[in-house]
Amino acid sequence: MATLLHIDTAGEKAMVAISQNGVLKAIQENEVFQTHASFLQVAIQTLVTETAIPLNSIDAIAVTMGPGSYTGLRVGLSSAKGIAYALNKPIIGLSTLSLLANAASKHAWFIEKKEQVQIFAMIDAKRMEVFGAIYDSQLNCQLAEQAIVIDSNYLASLVEKHPTICIGSAAAKAKALLNNADIVFVEQSYNILDSIQLADAAFTKGEFADTAYSSPSYLKEFFLKK
């Protein structure tokens, strides 16, 4: 187990936290999307004060790598890299889709059908497109994260293979496409406990991101409107 700093600015709500030996010590959250950048450093300092855990005593920085908000991901990873370089600490990169899958594994419907169920983690990418990945009942990735256009036929093809639980910000629009007893739509996100669980597992295995060359997982090019 380890002392970890967690940075998540991938979505509309930002989370910054410190965990120790798998236990949440303190957390700061921000729900004003446009202010994640200004929130981040102040929140980290607040955590250090609240927990009396000096920043140089942390073992690693866990940061969400996406997919998610283009600007948010850049803000989070840039901050994580800055701290990592300054303190000579490793970075743990977490996929937002893996975090969603981890959250889905705690859902009652999943637990009831665990040996058969697959998880479709999905983040809304506008229109009928999602950023998605598919995991088996052991949370092994079966379809790597990618941009996917969903329709009723696509969802039906998933259910033909296994009962499916869809989780994430795109679950609401996916729910309107198919009514089937073997597919469940969970309109929720992951929380800090999912981040702690996956980050601790990665730290134990020594699975660290390359501090110099790691980059966010955008999945699609970013375009600015004139």
Is it the case that residue 224 has pLDDT exceeding 60? Answer: no
Q: How confident is the model at residue 221 (pLDDT cuts 50, 70, 90)?
A: low
- For 203-212, the pLDDT digits (tens) are 999 999 999 9
Average pLDDT value for residue range 100-107: 97
201: CATH: 3.30.420.40
Whether residue 220 is contained in a domain is answered as no
Q: What is the pLDDT of residue 226?
A: 40
What is the C-alpha to C-alpha distance for residues 195 and 201, in angstroms, rounded to an integer? Answer: 10
112, 172: one domain: yes
Average pLDDT value for residue range 24-29: 98
- For 122-147, the pLDDT digits (tens) are 999 989 999 999 999 999 999 999 99
101, 90: one domain: no
Per-residue buried b or exposed e for 182-214, using 16+ beta carbons within 10 Å of the residue's own CB: bbbbbeebbbbbbbbbbbbebbeeeebbeeeeb
105, 182: one domain: yes
Average pLDDT value for residue range 6-29: 96
Number of domains comprising the chain: 2
85, 110: one domain: no
Among residues of the chain, what percentage have pLDDT more than 70?
97
Q: What is the pLDDT of residue 12?
A: 87
31, 75: one domain: yes
90, 195: one domain: yes
Whether residue 131 is contained in a domain is answered as yes
Among residues of the chain, what percentage have pLDDT more than 90?
85
Q: How confident is the model at residue 34 (pLDDT cuts 50, 70, 90)?
A: confident
Whether residue 226 is contained in a domain is answered as no
- For 67-96, the pLDDT digits (tens) are 998 889 999 999 999 999 999 999 999 999
Average pLDDT value for residue range 114-118: 85
With beta carbons less than 8 A apart as the criterion, state whether 88 and 118 touch: no
- For 167-211, the pLDDT digits (tens) are 999 999 999 999 999 999 999 999 999 999 999 999 999 999 999
Residue that is written with structure tokens 């803000």 in the block: 75
Whether residue 212 is contained in a domain is answered as no
Whether residue 213 is contained in a domain is answered as no
Question: What angle, 0 to 180 degrees and rounded to 10, lies between the N-to-C axes of helices 36-51 and 70-87?
Answer: 40
14, 32: one domain: yes
Whether residue 221 is contained in a domain is answered as no
166: CATH: 3.30.420
What is the rounded average pLDDT for all residues in the chain? 93
13, 80: one domain: yes
124, 88: one domain: no
Task: Provide the 3-class DSSP secondary structure of residue 30.
Answer: strand
Q: What is the pLDDT of residue 181?
A: 94
Q: In which domain, by residue range, is 115 found?
A: 97-186
Within a 10 A sphere around the Cβ of 5, how many other Cβ atoms? 27
103, 181: one domain: yes
Whether residue 112 is contained in a domain is answered as yes
Q: How confident is the model at residue 223 (pLDDT cuts 50, 70, 90)?
A: very low
Whether residue 195 is contained in a domain is answered as yes
Is it the case that residue 17 has pLDDT exceeding 50? Answer: yes
64, 17: one domain: yes
Q: What is the pLDDT of residue 113?
A: 83
43, 53: one domain: yes
Is it the case that residue 108 has pLDDT exceeding 80? Answer: yes
